Amino acid sequence: MVYRNSAVLSELFLFGSSVTFRKKILALFCICIFSHFTFYDYPD
């Protein structure tokens, strides 16, 4: 199971690595913005 999942992940990574990289950066950027606004909407 783990071997199969890792194989699929590496295959996806090798297949269009540039697009995946851009999507990861965009997703991380969106998560950072969401966390930022959530943090300031509900201050500690």
The mean pLDDT of the chain is 72
d(CA 43, CA 36): 11
User: Which has the higher per-residue pLDDT, 25 or 39?
Assistant: 25
Position 6 scores a pLDDT of 76
Give the count of domains, the chain: 1
Structural domain including 36 reads 2-41
CA separation for the pair 32, 36 (Å, rounded): 6
Which amino acid, residue 44?
D
CA distance 9 to 36: 30
pLDDT interval class at 3 (50, 70, 90): low
- CA torsion angle for 20, 25, 27, 30 (degrees, to 10)? -160
What would the pLDDT profile of 4-23 be if each residue is shown by its tens digit?
Answer: 777 777 776 666 667 777 78
Assign residue 16 a region (left: φ > 0; alpha: ψ between -120 and 50; beta: otherwise): left
